[in-house]
Structure 1
């Protein structure tokens, strides 16, 4: 494959800055529902997830004692503000160790980083998200992802798992602000005014900047059976390993040559009261078969059915669960053979 070949652009765009309103109003309540489905041809489920709509207590108990004593009061002052952690890990390769380990470690990784907690605390006092604040969180998330990746690779070496990896999508909502860190092709999409807006970027090898990084490290990107993949030549010169994502945790054989990176993209938005109705976090088992807007339209249809019920105010969690289940069913009906994980987060603005 020549370096001049045209590579397709992503089909849908990320959330542009013009769509990021200011303001400091938090949702009055957050409800989450999830659904999962193992790929019919897969021997084991390799997707793992975390959905904690009230994560403050868990994060507080895992945070450094010194930080709780000196900086913790900033959180206590905003005790009524939502603090939500959502994560999806899509494992691949020789097992589920990388994805499972990431799931088990993510709460501690966020809570144990005093610098990250300081960034959250400072941002709670600001009406928007300044470039300086976002820069601090980008550095903190990247450090946290690197630390998790080092641990997973070390564990993989001890277990003899050279090609065990996972993508990683982690979102933390603090009050009205939603921060997303992504390495791989799980995706977060928010529905604003009925329109799907992507909050993360899929890290695929065919992206020009990803391909340039991989080739600069001595690797190749090739289309193998219709899918663009990172190619790792093996020492015999005749065979190679391939991977369909360019960022994530684990995959220590690819990491040895710096072909796959653990560095996440980090973004932050301020939620728009009454306009942001829900957010979808899902693995590529969904997104490979269902478009962003299609997914938002389907969730909206499910929510509309629940709104017609007199008890809707007590049924937000049930609506979120039903919406996630419908998305999984829709992806299966579309022919998805991959593991699928979907988390739907509904925002109640009390209006």
Structure 2
């Protein structure tokens, strides 16, 4: 049901772009509005000197498709928020979507699912996981800019381990939203709070609760034994990667593999590619059972 709704949102977003995408010229910056709208005002007096904008950004057709997919994910998440009580759907999920359009493959991922292309034995990653580790700086920045989301229970700073009360006044390694390396700081009382991002690898968690940072839903998710909502730290927007099929030569054994963390946690990319190759080799290229 959810996948069909997301498919519908993507289709609706792309529907308005059909004619634009078929035209090789640059996309129009503005689309005409409905003429003769009652009560419409002339906005010409709001336009400043044109010299303020000597040039305009170049917008590609690919970016239009990417934007349509991103909008579709947001609309899907908003629909889940509106309907979660009536349909008693209060959970959430990761989402991995593939759109084939005009000779290109668009892979959109929100969560810890992944996709790879196996081309002539070469493995091409088409997505990456979004976890508390990979998005640490985004999460910390949000906690820094909006400390009220931390509820006085968490700190946006990261330490190598939980700070102990006896370490107050000492200098300990830390890093904040701007840092990829580590530095020393004097431990203060606020540093005794639980870290916003904790753990490593598959054990990494946001607010000691969830191990993915992008996905759909989870609007009611709260910190255990607390009323703090976690949704503000979770993004519904996918990362979209584009693969141009016309730029490469392909053979019948080239494939696109999609999988959740249930696959990738126990199997490497190479093992998946080898398994697919082994299975395909047992069939003729024109066998419909492939």
TM-score normalised by the chain length of structure 2: 0.60
State how far apart, in whole Å, the 2-side matches of 1:225 and 1:242 are. Answer: 14
State how far apart, in whole Å, the 2-side matches of 1:261 and 1:294 are. Answer: 31
State how far apart, in whole Å, the 2-side matches of 1:120 and 1:296 are. Answer: 35
Q: Choose from 36, 51, 63 the match for 1:135.
A: 63
Indicate the SS of the match to 2:277.
Answer: helix
Structure (1 or 2) with the larger CA radius of gyration = 2
State how far apart, in whole Å, the 2-side matches of 1:138 and 1:225 are. Answer: 29
Are positions 1:246 and 2:246 aligned together?
no
What is residue 262 of structure 1 aligned with on the other side?
Answer: 236
What is residue 250 of structure 2 aligned with on the other side?
Answer: 274
What is residue 203 of structure 1 aligned with on the other side?
Answer: 130
What is residue 276 of structure 2 aligned with on the other side?
Answer: 299
Whether the aligned pair in 2 keeps the contact of 1:203 and 1:210 (CA below 8 Å) is no
Indicate the SS of the match to 1:247.
Answer: coil
User: What is the CA-CA distance between 1:140 and the residue it aligns to?
Assistant: 1.4
State how far apart, in whole Å, the 1-side matches of 2:99 and 2:61 are. Answer: 15
Are positions 1:178 and 2:105 aligned together?
yes
Taking a change above 3 Å as real, the CA distance of residues 120 and 180 of structure 1, as seen in their structure-2 partners, is farther
Relative CO higher for 1 or 2, CA cutoff 8 Å, sep ≥ 6?
1
Q: How does 1:318-333 map to 2 (within 5 A)?
A: 318-319=289-290
Which structure's residues are more often strand, by fraction? Answer: 1
Are positions 1:228 and 2:228 aligned together?
no
Deviation readout 1:81-127 (Å, 9 max, x if unpaired):
xxxxxxxxxxxxxxxxxxxx4213122112222xx23546544566x
Q: Choose from 110, 113, 116 the match for 2:10.
A: 110
Aligned length: 199
Taking a change above 3 Å as real, the CA distance of residues 226 and 286 of structure 1, as seen in their structure-2 partners, is closer
Deviation readout 1:58-97 (Å, 9 max, x if unpaired):
xxxxxxxxxxxxxxxxxxxxxxxxxxxxxxxxxxxxxxxx
Poorly superposed stretches of 4+, deviation over 6 Å: none
Q: How does 1:1-351 map to 2 (within 5 A)?
A: 101-113=1-13, 116-119=14-17, 122-123=20-21, 132-159=60-87, 162=90, 164-207=91-134, 208-213=136-141, 215-216=143-144, 218=149, 220-223=196-199, 227-231=203-207, 242-254=209-221, 257-271=231-245, 272-274=248-250, 277-307=254-284, 312-315=285-288, 318-319=289-290
Which structure's residues are more often helix, by fraction? Answer: 1
Deviation readout 1:156-202 (Å, 9 max, x if unpaired):
2335554x000011111124210111110111110122111111121
State how far apart, in whole Å, the 2-side matches of 1:154 and 1:133 are. Answer: 32
User: What is the CA-CA distance between 1:209 and the residue it aligns to?
Assistant: 3.8
Deviation readout 1:213-251 (Å, 9 max, x if unpaired):
5544545112289611111xxxxxxxxx61111000011
TM-score normalised by the chain length of structure 1: 0.51
User: What is the CA-CA distance between 1:154 and the residue it aligns to?
Assistant: 2.1
State how far apart, in whole Å, the 1-side matches of 2:233 and 2:71 are. Answer: 19
